[in-house]
Chains A and B, each alone.
Chain A
Amino acid sequence: MSVTPDLECRGINKSFGQFQAVNDVSFSIPAGSFFSILGPSGCGKTSLLRMLAGFSEPDSGEILIKGKSVKGIPPNKRPVNMVFQHLALFPMMNVGDNIAYGLKRRKVSAQEQQRRVADVLERIGLPGIEKKSIDQLSGGQKQRVAIARCLILEPALLLLDEPLGALDLKLREQMKIELKTLQQTFGTTFVYITHDQSEAMVMSDQVAVMNHGRFEQVGSPQTLYYQPETPFVAGFVGNNNRLSGQVIKTAKDFIQVSTESGHIFHTSSSSILETNTAVEMFLRPEAIHIDRDSDKSWQNTMKGRIDNILFDGGNSQLLVRDTASPTQMTVALPQTGKYQKLRQGEIIKLGWNAEQSIAFKAG
């Protein structure tokens, strides 16, 4: 049985003068999922979102919402609502009037408006704040009110334009979880755009990584992390050490790469690569083991001197400089107590297996 997706885009293009902001983007989002579009600023994600909302029309291609083309339908007639980057709550209205704004436009009776506003406030965990003015709310509360103002209209899609950008770190962490919970309780399809990979990874069912107007890869956060399809995705999602080199030998499961720093590493590859192909190898800091006593055998090893210890609690990292070359590697430092005695300048052995790194043909 095929279910109509909530949103389907077919070959969307959009240019501003000479600049192609969105380049042949196609995707579909199943009903009730949390979909993120992740990309650096200027990658075209905002242009794409504005086309979904109806603030601009694609030059070519088709947008279907719940199976119906929305070509030429203005934003006020689309079954889509948007949470703006700076939320755009109306400062001259109180919370209740802000949330009821859309219902009022639909000529819902005053009594019904009141009931539904109270209901939605209950669901976002802020009951009874109808009479408060907007500037009496905290950042997180504003966030939730802005979302409630859209969700009360029961849109087919809720578009979110980096709404967490303005919040401080602690609140942002908390709001990530809340947004995910809200999405699950309301069951509305969320399309979330962000440049912050952690936001996209934590909340989304599916993430599209966008670069230069194109979708590089669409997949679950796990897929993007473990099986990146392009060097851009490997570099953008999560942290990665990047090593350049050349293929010197190919085998069934892995290839051997001779790096510019003079090492020979075993690695997996994204596609079948011929020998002598120039490649870029990506290795996650958290995939590297720190080996002090060297009784374990790894497919790849490297000796290095600790340049710096970047202590950041659970996200602590070591900057390790190869003893034989100027290559610097970032290595995750697990806070299990085992490595507490590591000191700057110490020589350590790093080890990892072939399947933990991935090589791409250098572009």
Chain B
Amino acid sequence: MLKLTGKNLSFYLLLMPLLLTLGLLIVLPQLDMLGVSLRERISYGEYKFSFLHYTEFFTEPLYWNTFLRTAVMSIMATLLTLLIAFPIAWYIAKVAQGKNKKLLFLACLIPFWVSELVRTYGWMILLRESGIISGFLQWSGLSSGPVELLYNDITVMTGLIYASMLFMVVPLVSTLEGMDDSLVEAAYDLGASTFTVIRSIILPYAMPGVISGCIVVFMLTLGNYLTPTLLGGKHSLWFTEQIFTQFITRFNWEQGAAFGVLLLTLSSLLVWTGLKLSGQSFKQAVAS
């Protein structure tokens, strides 16, 4: 039996806001979502328990194709972000000194002063048919007519990577900064080539940072709505759009809720697989 006195009591009181936030804003709505997804509307205000909306998902190819496509593209975006962010993080953590270091960090942060929506419109100004890049190509004679750079997968990917960069760079910089430079020198001194040093020393050392960066970026990408919709147009086929359509356009909350639950299951499953494959524990990744 818990005795709520003195220190103990203040601990639980301090914990309250966190518990309330988690409970009211995350656990409760998700449970309700699960409940909504498992019912079928018979008539006005009358529901019965059913798996209809889940079977619907698996029998309608558009749904699960979008689902798979979103997962694959998110994984690709995560890996590409990692590939681009790693050298940047290395530069910030190990090469840049003093003032430059802060400036570079700031440069990574600056895009986030602008709202995501405005940032994405910025991309559209650059990339649309009547946009700056298209105009430049025509002016310089490299292209005879307007060029549409929006509404394709590459643009969506670019936008997703751009939006995720900071969340990969920050954990990587913080783990790499903790690494003693002499580890690299020692490995080199013991006969390792540059490639081996990266593979056997730097990457394993940075692994907790890599994993936590990847988890954050993957979840942000999977759940991103604005970037795929605006940059990919109606053909972007992002799963969050399906959810939006069900909830808002079709007013089919049951179907939308089922999709939401499926998306949550998918992201949890993929994160778990990623952790298992890399041999890292969730605790380690969160701690970095």
Within A50-75, which residues are at the interface with B (CB < 8 Å)? 53-55, 74-75
In this complex, the interface size class of chain A, counting residues with CB under 8 Å from chain B, is 20 to 34
Q: Is B190 an interface residue (CB 8 A)?
A: yes
Q: Is B56 an interface residue (CB 8 A)?
A: no
Q: Is B193 an interface residue (CB 8 A)?
A: yes
In this complex, the interface size class of chain B, counting residues with CB under 8 Å from chain A, is 10 to 19
Per-position binary interface string of chain B over residues 184-211, scored 1 when its CB falls under 8 Å from any chain A CB and 0 otherwise: 0111111111001000110011010000
Within B160-190, which residues are at the interface with A (CB < 8 Å)? 180, 182-183, 185-190
Q: Is A235 an interface residue (CB 8 A)?
A: no
- State A227–B34 Cα separation when bound (angstroms): 89
- State A81–B189 Cα separation when bound (angstroms): 6
- Known A-B contacts A76-B193, A105-B196; the reply to A88 vs B188 at CB < 8 A is no
A53, B187: Cβ atoms under 8 Å?
no
DSSP majority for the A interface?
mixed
Q: How far is the CB of A145 from chain B (nearest CB, A)?
A: 12
- State A75–B192 Cα separation when bound (angstroms): 9
Residues on B with C-beta less than 8 A from A153 are 190-191
- Known A-B contacts A90-B201, A92-B204, A105-B196; the reply to A84 vs B191 at CB < 8 A is no
Residues on B with C-beta less than 8 A from A106 are 191
* Interchain CB contact (< 8 A) of B182 among A76, A85, A92: A85
A53, B204: Cβ atoms under 8 Å?
no
Q: How far is the CB of B210 from chain A (nearest CB, A)?
A: 13
Residues on A with C-beta less than 8 A from B191 are 76-77, 102, 105-106, 153
- State A74–B185 Cα separation when bound (angstroms): 11
A75, B182: Cβ atoms under 8 Å?
no
Q: For A53, A90, A150, which residue has the most chain B Cβ atoms within 10 angstroms?
A: A90
Q: How far is the CB of B184 from chain A (nearest CB, A)?
A: 9
- State A74–B192 Cα separation when bound (angstroms): 11
- Known A-B contacts A76-B191, A92-B205, A106-B191; the reply to A55 vs B180 at CB < 8 A is no
Q: Enumerate chain B interface residues (CB-CB to A < 8 A).
A: 180, 182-183, 185-193, 196, 200-201, 204-205, 207
Q: Enumerate chain A interface residues (CB-CB to B < 8 A).
A: 53-55, 74-77, 80-82, 84-86, 88, 90-92, 101-102, 105-106, 149-150, 153
